[in-house]
Amino acid sequence: MGGTLVLRIEDTDQKRNTEEAVQVIYDGLRWLGLDWNEGPQMGGNYGPYFQSQRNDLYEKHLKTLQDKGVVYEDEGSIRYRSPRQPVTVRDMVCGTITFDRAMEPDMTIRRPDGSWIFHFVNVVDDIEMKITHVLRGEDHLSNTPKHIELYNALGFEPPNFAHIPLILNRDGSKMSKRDDGASISTYIEQGYSPEAVRNYLCLLGWSPKDNREVIGIDEVVSLFDLEKINRRNAAFDLDKCFWINGQYIHTMEMDRFADLSIPFIEKAGIQFGSREQLLPVLTIVKEKIKLFRDVPEWISYFFTEDFAYDEASVEKNLRKPGALEHLAALQEAFGSVSAWDAATIEAKLKETAVARGAKTGELIHPTRVAASGRSVGPSLYHMLEVLGKNRVLARMEKTIKQFGAVA
């Protein structure tokens, strides 16, 4: 379909107009990959792109209405006199709807202090910016007849309208700015990947019709069709968004994974040295990650000897008859190997287990706790390989000393 995406900041209400609020809009849009072609920071031929700076335009169109005698003053405000004739909205999603306007009150278009009301400036801007398609939430469907009246009074053809379903909370209530999931910043903070969130959002009110859930934006764009938009409001399901995020991480390129992980790792204060030193670690934990926020927790012990031993893991795996003896034997066996790769480590561990008449798991679990302080982590053999022989032997030594004394 193509088209030009115009970003316009509707800041006619000075009370709510703050720089942070605008920044949040820029950040959220950019993060989602919804870069605008025309608007603030991008320029364009129909600026300025802040309504607060377009007063001349509004004055100009107000004059048109005054000349036609369809506005009047009411307690200092300016109001538009509705013709009170039926208005038919031809909506690309909702179809043709005729509103009987007979009882409608006249709308205010300008306050006594000179500031403008949304409906009027919106119509003026859409005219001036040559907007062809107005796609907006269904909450505006009932406002559309008012807008059409304004287009007519101003002497312009209304654009195409498409009203799309709203997003509700999980309990069916209307989602507002402060509800869970409503703000893009929470996805950024929690470590969702932008492509996953965008994918999830695309599935609300639309689908590729073939039961696929994970679908790239390029394909969404090529398959998208306003006719296929649902008319039913959708409830936001964070669980599913979370799942889709996991799917994206699963198939993500390592470099992309690193790019998205690093901000969280740095924020956690982990000194990982260079990206080259970090990559092997990320490679073996990637399949465990569901949210980038969790990355630091999964990799911390790779970059410090000062890690804590999880008490429950110690209890379960180290304070068991024979555990430390197995560990000591394995430490010795590891010390004798020349190569240090996952395959060698695995072979040596299994060989040691057999020699000691123990099950593989009886060596694996204590070793994991000795090397990482915890019982959950990536594949043990790969973990030991990445950790390096010297550090592994030292950690085993330390563990035996620390827990042997009290055993």
Query: Least distance (Å) from RNA to the CB of residue 268?
Result: 19
8 A C-beta contact, residue 128 and residue 46: yes
| Residue among 240 and 275 whose Cβ is closer to RNA | 240
Near RNA in 332-361, by CB under 7 A: 360-361
Q: Tell me how far apart the terminal alpha carbons of the chain are, to the nearest angstrom.
A: 71
Interface with RNA (CB under 7 A), residue total 79
Place of tokens 């190997």: 337
Element containing residue 389 per DSSP (H, E): helix 389-404
Query: Least distance (Å) from RNA to the CB of residue 97?
Result: 5
The window from 24-32, 97-105, 147-155, 272-280 that contacts RNA (CB under 7 A) reads 97-105
* Interaction between residue 74 and RNA (CB under 7 A): yes
Q: Take residue 112 and report the two structure tokens written for it.
A: 């006594």
Task: Write the binding mask 150 to 179 for RNA: x where contact by CB under 7 A, - elsewhere.
Answer: ---------------xx-x-x-xxx-----
* Interaction between residue 259 and RNA (CB under 7 A): no
Near RNA in 105-124, by CB under 7 A: 105, 107-108, 111-112, 115-119
* Interaction between residue 250 and RNA (CB under 7 A): yes
8 A C-beta contact, residue 354 and residue 380: no
3-state SS record for 76-140: CEEEECCCCCCEEEEECCCEEEEECCCCCCCEEEECCCCCECHHHHHHHHHHHCCCCEEEEEHHH
Query: Least distance (Å) from RNA to the CB of residue 371?
Result: 11
Q: Take residue 368 and report the two structure tokens written for it.
A: 């994991």
* Interaction between residue 30 and RNA (CB under 7 A): no
* Interaction between residue 364 and RNA (CB under 7 A): yes
The window from 34-42, 69-77, 149-157, 321-329 that contacts RNA (CB under 7 A) reads 69-77
* Interaction between residue 76 and RNA (CB under 7 A): yes
| Residue among 230 and 275 whose Cβ is closer to RNA | 230
Rounded Cα gap, residues 30 and 95, in angstroms: 32
Looking at this protein, which amino acid is placed at residue 197?
Answer: V
Q: Which of 64, 101, 62 lies closest to 78 in space, CA to CA?
A: 62
Rounded Cα gap, residues 17 and 24, in angstroms: 12
Task: Write the binding mask 283 to 322 for RNA: x where contact by CB under 7 A, - elsewhere.
Answer: ----xx-x--------------------------------
The window from 125-133, 254-262, 269-277, 368-376 that contacts RNA (CB under 7 A) reads 368-376
* Interaction between residue 38 and RNA (CB under 7 A): no
Q: Take residue 173 and report the two structure tokens written for it.
A: 């209530």
Q: Which of 181, 185, 189 lies closest to 293 in space, CA to CA?
A: 189
* Interaction between residue 395 and RNA (CB under 7 A): no
